[in-house]
Amino acid sequence: MDEAKRSALNEFWINLKTAPGQIYRAMFRGGAPVSDRTRSSFVFGNVFLHLHSVRTHLWSLKWSTTMGLGLITTAAFLITLVTGILLMFYYKPYPDVAYQSIKDIHFIVPTGRFMRNIHRWAANVMVVAVILHMARAFYTASYRKPREFNWFIGWGLLVTTLALSFTGYLLPWDQLAYWAITIGANIAQSPREITDAMGITEYFDIGGLQREILLGSEIVGEESLIRFYLLHVMILPLILAMLMAVHFWRIRKDGGLAKPKNVDELVAADQKEHYPVFTEAPQKTYQLAAVVKGKTPAVGSGPENTVPSMPHLFYAELGVLMFTVLICFILAFVSDAPLKELANPLVPENPAKAPWYFLGLQEIVSFSAFMGGIGIPMLCWIGLGLIPFLDKETEGTGEWFGGPGGAKLVGWSALYGFATSIAVEAFAIRFGWLREWFPDIPQLVITFVNPGTVITVLYAAFSIWVLRRFNSTRAGALALFTCFLAGFIVLTVIGTHFRGPNWDFFWSPSHWPGH
Amino acid sequence: MKKNKYLLLFSSIGVLLLLLAAAASENFLKDWHYIQSTAKTQDGPIDVRLRQIVNNDLKRADRCVTCHVGMAPGETIISELKVAQPHKPVVHDITTMGCTTCHGGQGQATEKDDAHGNVHFWMEPMLPAKYAYAGCGTCHTPLNVPNLEILNAARRTFEKLDCYACHRLDGRGGTLRPGGDVTGMEGPDLSHVGIKGYDREWYAAHWEKNKTAPDGPWKNAFREVSDEDQKAVTTFLDTQMGAPKLVEARAQFNSVGCAGCHVVGNFGGENGPELSRSGERDPNQLNFSNVPGDRTLTNWFAQHFRSPASTVAGSLMPAQNLSDDQIDLLTMYTLSLRRRVLPDVFLPKDRVKAMRFGVREFASDPATLYSTICASCHGASGTGMRFPGLPPNPSITNPDLLALASDDFLFAAIRSGRPGRPMLPWGERTNGLKDDEIRSLVAYIRQLGGGIQPEADTKPARWVTGDVAMGGRLFASYCAGCHGPMGSGGDGPAIANKLFLQTATDTFLVETISRGRRGTVMQGFSTPSSVRPALTRVEIEAIAAYIRTLETKN
């Protein structure tokens, strides 16, 4: 009796002493990640990590393969998530009060200014990175079979990212926010140009409806603020997170990153650098996966040229994460997020500018609301989404600028894209457009003939010429995508830097009158 | 790959360094750390920490004293830095009132530019040192202020009588009795008597002392004071609130007729916007496109006074050709119109008087009444004003008018106004002019016009019996050009004004038509001009009869 009692107490004492080790062993069920087996179990035994394959191809680890752009986007999202939650502790989503709470965050809340700056910069990094990530996926022809659907998901992620950024723009409730959202809402209303021209706005006001759904009322008011807040902190992040989960999952299910045909030769040199590749001779090969039916790309491939994801892939991922944090911190350290005066519906900003990534659209909107707001963006969106289904060639998959024409074609396309858009814009700025020459011209004519549509048509013509010349859809796609990217850059820069009050052209914002 | 490890290593180090830098700059590199580290008390160096004055009633948390550490509560700090010096002595206990209550600025901020509000888009920057007294307007209201001319004359009288010999006023004057601070000043400090009150029979009391005192200052320093000077001194004392510059600014406001169109506090006209809280306006909500210089409220006000219509599009406020000094004072006054909503314990006496008891912010002598209410439209000397694009404002000191208009006519015009015109019913409004004030104003206007008294008129108010049809034809051909069809007004005043026709006698109408008004385009119709013959007495009476019919038509 006494004996048993003492031993139970003894056991308890021993258990208590060994508790830390037990927790560690319970966490890493298979033991510390030191062998292939335990490294694998480290990955598949972890709810978050098991989205990764346990082994990673050397090609995926090369910096030149992806430049880490997808990871940067993800990292930026995580940063905005963390800082955004911190900001929510102090932010109050109600007109005027919202503004004061941002002032408080800026001036009084310890590290509040820094957090807000990081949030703002990470959001911008995310927008830039997601666009570059898309360009990377396009230029390496990674959208091709079996990755079409993942391109599609990415396409949704791009839209969601822009929507997240746009909804966040209103929250400070300052003049900048207020009028940017007003412009954005007016862009949503732009189908009215067509319905007005046809005289049916009274019966069928799709533009007005879109605007009202976006704002929740006729003007940007408290309804809009709550709406944008909810979208920004709840609905869109959830959508984004879900799409991201699918996006990552599909990477693995689609056989990892797209690789060129001769990938084994390309990574042969890297193979030696890596330790460990295999710490114990594989007793089973991945051939066993052949019992899985279907066309999963991993089926039938050996584990050649792969290294354990733990630690190689995770070093890379953590490295990119910290790199992104660093970039955001540096930007946040040197530049404060803007906060203008309290929103005042009676005093329009002049110029009122949308967030920068919409300024290219606003530039076309200044000629035709419909084309800038709906027509051309829709064309681009639909075109982007359809890319994997229109280009079914196989040449150059996984290679930068792969496909007929290659980098040289992309270079020429970029030159053409820049030259054309700059020339058309310069012409319109210098000589005006149809409205200046024929004041009575119907708006419908301008809707279809304006700098935006002219640039679009010139790009399309060039792309068709390239397509015929190389007799390749990929070549045509390369030309078109590059042109549009160039046009996006040119129009965005003009809208951001060269447009002043009344949307007039100025060489520099310092030349604006009255400031 | 090694590259990834290095990326992780260096990025993490970079992040760590930046975090350290951010922590260091937030905790050690701020200016106030340096300022406080140089300051010490007699007991040695002071703690370096955030200091603040919190006043929950006034909703203040002012961290200004973190840098201005010499002003911090309970500190007797010695520092060579100018910023850390103690506040100069003031009436209020700054350790309870806070700093931004008077000075404006952003109390919560702990960096100079942010705190002083010199950052883009801070709504309430600090009041410029030059206009510091405008800060008193947050709580206080100057009361009983005469116009600038009277105020200056009163101050000169106060100086001439050498009241400063015994009394202290705003830190000036006052002789210490032998024995210094212990025995105190010869006379009481008069700096705040306008608020706190004083013996209105001061002269009698002084005179009594002078007569009974055997020797000493009462006998030697006090002399007989004329009635006029007594009045001036009283006028001067009534205004004393410890903010001489603010009183001067209000006096300027009372000199150019602003209250004729603008409400401030409990009195004013409604033709222009109310100004009671104009000093609280957010400069960021104002249009600066035609205002050169900084985007500050001060600058905007100054430019607005210089040229109202170009600053505010569509403004009907006439430019008053103000001098730079006048603009400066008016700018200061409008800046002072802050009038926070205050918890009762913080309501000063003067504000209570104005809010609850209707005490006016201007003095009630006729000259001040005239310059406060009438001067902007009728001119400083009553000769009328013309502003581009607006109907002319009539001369009220025209000898022909004053000779024909009875005192009752002028009284009624001031009391009941002219409906449809900027001339408001000054006697029929809350806190409006009392009857005896209007009477004194009528007398003052006559005085401005050279003392012309009305001619004796024995006829009844309505005696004209003329041919209305003929009168109508004559009116159409001779009068309607200026006075408008049916007397509705044009370049000349509207005749068909109900209150005008009610109070104007037939003699007034007939004589005005026949004699005209000197100095205006209204020529007497009993003498011929180059474009028309003289009208006969019958014809003039016919016109007057026609004018009478307009009374019922409207």
For B:109-138, CB contacts with A below 8 A are: 109, 114, 120-121, 123
Closest chain B residue by Cα to residue A344: B285
Q: Does B485 touch chain A (CB under 8 A)?
A: no
- Tell which wins on pLDDT, B6 or A300: B6
Q: Looking at residue B485, which CATH number applies to its domain?
A: 1.10.760.10
Quick one: pLDDT at residue A302? 47
User: Looking at the partner chain, which of B7, B18, B109 has a beta carbon nearest the beta carbon of A319?
Assistant: B7
Closest chain B residue by Cα to residue A324: B11
Last residue of a domain, one of B126, B158, B193: B126
Does pLDDT of B337 surpass 50? Answer: yes
User: Would you say A164 and A232 are in contact if contact means Cβ atoms under 8 Å apart?
Assistant: yes
Q: Tokens 């965050």 appear where?
A: A105
Rounded Cα–Cα distance for residues A504 and A212 (Å): 29
Closest chain B residue by Cα to residue A56: B1
User: Looking at the partner chain, which of A175, A316, A340 has a beta carbon nearest the beta carbon of B4?
Assistant: A316
Q: Does B4 touch chain A (CB under 8 A)?
A: yes
Q: Which of A73-77, A104-108, B306-310, B349-353 has the lowest mean pLDDT?
A: A104-108
Closest chain A residue by Cα to residue B7: A319
Do the Cβ atoms of A61 and B123 come within 8 Å? Answer: no
Distance to chain B for A106, nearest Cα, Å:
9
Closest chain A residue by Cα to residue B15: A326
- B43-94 pLDDT, tens digit each: 888 888 888 888 888 878 888 888 898 888 777 777 888 888 888 888 888 8
B227 and B295 in a single domain? The answer is no
User: Would you say B504 and B409 are in contact if contact means Cβ atoms under 8 Å apart?
Assistant: yes
Quick one: pLDDT at residue A271? 64
User: Would you say B361 and B264 are in contact if contact means Cβ atoms under 8 Å apart?
Assistant: yes
Structure tokens at A448: 């279809």
Q: Is residue A347 exposed (0-12), middle (13-18) or buried (19+ Cβ within 10 Å)?
A: middle
Examine residue B291 and state whether it is found in any structural domain, yes or no: yes
Q: Which of A468-477, B212-221, B291-300 has the lowest mean pLDDT?
A: B212-221
- Cα atoms in the 13 Å half-sphere on the side-chain side of B307: 8
Examine residue B457 and state whether it is found in any structural domain, yes or no: no
Does pLDDT of B232 surpass 90? Answer: yes
Dihedral sign for Cα atoms in the order B395, B396, B402, B406: positive
Best B7, B30, B288 residue to mutate vs chain A (most A CBs within 10 Å) = B7
Into how many domains does chain B fold? 5
Residue B370's nearest CA partner among B381, B358, B360 is B381
Q: What are phi and psi of B385, to 5 degrees?
A: -140, 145
Residue A161's nearest CA partner among A76, A83, A67, A229 is A76
The structural domains of chain A, with segments of one domain joined by +, span: 58-275+285-349, 351-515
Q: Does B256 touch chain A (CB under 8 A)?
A: no
Predicted model pTM: 0.72
For B:55-114, CB contacts with A below 8 A are: 106, 108-109, 114
The CA-based angle B83-B84-B90, given to 5 degrees, is 90
Closest chain A residue by Cα to residue B3: A316
User: Would you say A466 and A409 are in contact if contact means Cβ atoms under 8 Å apart?
Assistant: yes
Contacts of A284 (CB under 8 A, 6+ apart): none
pLDDT truncated to tens, each residue of chain A (515 aa)? 555 567 888 999 999 999 988 888 777 766 777 777 788 888 888 888 888 888 888 888 888 888 989 999 999 999 999 999 999 999 999 988 898 888 888 877 888 889 999 999 999 999 999 999 999 999 988 888 888 889 989 999 999 999 999 899 889 998 888 988 888 888 888 888 788 877 887 788 888 888 888 888 888 888 899 999 999 999 999 999 999 999 998 888 887 888 887 777 777 666 666 655 555 555 555 544 444 444 545 444 445 677 888 888 888 999 999 999 999 999 998 888 888 777 888 777 778 888 888 888 888 888 888 888 888 888 888 888 888 888 888 888 888 888 888 889 999 999 999 999 999 999 988 888 877 888 888 878 888 888 889 999 999 999 999 999 988 888 888 999 999 999 999 999 999 888 888 788 888 877 776 54
Rounded Cα–Cα distance for residues A153 and A156 (Å): 5
Q: Does A240 touch chain B (CB under 8 A)?
A: no
User: Looking at the partner chain, which of A62, A107, A341 has a beta carbon nearest the beta carbon of B114?
Assistant: A107
Size of interface A-B (CB pairs under 8 A): 84
Kindly list the residues from chain B whose CB atom is less than 8 angstroms away from the CB atom of residue A109. none
Question: Which residues face B54 on adjacent strands?
Answer: B61
Q: Is B526 helix (H, G, I), strand (E, B) or coil?
A: coil
Examine residue B398 and state whether it is found in any structural domain, yes or no: yes
B109 and B156 in a single domain? The answer is no
- Tell which wins on pLDDT, B27 or B204: B204
Please name the helix (run of DSSP H) or strand (run of DSSP E) that holds residue B54, with its range, or none. strand B53-55
In this structure, how many other beta carbons lie within 10 angstroms of the beta carbon of residue B38? 15
Kindly list the residues from chain A whose CB atom is less than 8 angstroms away from the CB atom of residue B50. none
Kindly list the residues from chain A whose CB atom is less than 8 angstroms away from the CB atom of residue B293. none
Written out in words, the top-level CATH class of the domain with range A58-275+285-349 is mainly alpha
User: Would you say A455 and A419 are in contact if contact means Cβ atoms under 8 Å apart?
Assistant: no
B422 and B514 in a single domain? The answer is no
User: Looking at the partner chain, which of A312, A318, A344 has a beta carbon nearest the beta carbon of B285?
Assistant: A344
Examine residue B292 and state whether it is found in any structural domain, yes or no: yes
Kindly list the residues from chain B whose CB atom is less than 8 angstroms away from the CB atom of residue A270. 1
Rounded Cα–Cα distance for residues B167 and B20 (Å): 60
- B440-463 pLDDT, tens digit each: 999 999 999 888 899 888 888 888
H helices within B39-179, ranges in order?
Answer: 94-97, 100-103, 112-116, 148-160
Do the Cβ atoms of A316 and B1 come within 8 Å? Answer: yes
Tell me what percent of chain A is helix, strand and coil, each rounded to the nearest 5: 70, 0, 30
User: Looking at the partner chain, which of A61, A104, A175 has a beta carbon nearest the beta carbon of B1?
Assistant: A61
Distance to chain A for B14, nearest Cα, Å:
6
Contacts of A188 (CB under 8 A, 6+ apart): A207, A210, A211, A214, A373
- Cα atoms in the 13 Å half-sphere on the side-chain side of A161: 28
Q: Which stretches of B255-358 are assigned E, i.e. beta strand?
A: none
User: Would you say A137 and A401 are in contact if contact means Cβ atoms under 8 Å apart?
Assistant: no
Quick one: pLDDT at residue A300? 40
Quick one: pLDDT at residue A515? 43
Rounded Cα–Cα distance for residues B104 and B127 (Å): 6
Rounded Cα–Cα distance for residues B87 and B67 (Å): 12
B547 and B512 in a single domain? The answer is yes
Do the Cβ atoms of A63 and B3 come within 8 Å? Answer: yes
User: Looking at the partner chain, which of A62, A318, A514 has a beta carbon nearest the beta carbon of B289?
Assistant: A514
Quick one: pLDDT at residue A290? 44
**Domain assignment of residue B70, given as a range:** 33-126
B434 and B527 in a single domain? The answer is no
Kindly state the percentage of chain B with pLDDT values over 90: 33
Question: Which residues face A499 on adjacent strands?
Answer: A505
User: Would you say A311 and A33 are in contact if contact means Cβ atoms under 8 Å apart?
Assistant: yes
| Full DSSP string of B439-478 | HHHHHHHHHHTTSPPPPP--S-S------HHHHHHHIIII
Closest chain A residue by Cα to residue B63: A108
Quick one: pLDDT at residue B539? 92
Q: Does B293 touch chain A (CB under 8 A)?
A: no
Quick one: pLDDT at residue A459? 93
Kindly list the residues from chain B whose CB atom is less than 8 angstroms away from the CB atom of residue A61. 1, 4
**What mean pLDDT is predicted for residues B335-355?**
88
Kindly list the residues from chain B whose CB atom is less than 8 angstroms away from the CB atom of residue A323. 7, 11
Cis link prior to A276 (omega < 30° from 0)?
yes
Residue A212's nearest CA partner among A199, A201, A223 is A223
Q: Does B14 touch chain A (CB under 8 A)?
A: yes
- B410-437 pLDDT, tens digit each: 999 999 998 888 899 999 887 889 999 9
Q: Looking at residue B420, which CATH number applies to its domain?
A: 1.10.760
The distance in angstroms from the start CA to the end CA of chain B is 98
Question: How remote is the C-alpha of A420 from its chain's centroid?
Answer: 27
Q: How many residues does the structure list for chain A?
A: 515
Structure tokens at B124: 């309430």
How much is the ipTM here? 0.80
Rounded Cα–Cα distance for residues B222 and B211 (Å): 10
Q: What are phi and psi of B360, to 5 degrees?
A: -80, 155
B212 and B226 in a single domain? The answer is yes
Quick one: pLDDT at residue A384? 87
For A:322-361, CB contacts with B below 8 A are: 322-323, 325-326, 329-330, 333, 339-342, 344, 346-347
**What mean pLDDT is predicted for residues B32-42?**
84
User: CA dist B521 to A63, B42, B394, B397, B472, Å?
Assistant: 91, 80, 12, 16, 21
Does pLDDT of B389 surpass 80? Answer: no
Distance to chain B for A108, nearest Cα, Å:
7
B77 and B44 in a single domain? The answer is yes
Q: Tokens 């694998």 appear where?
A: A40
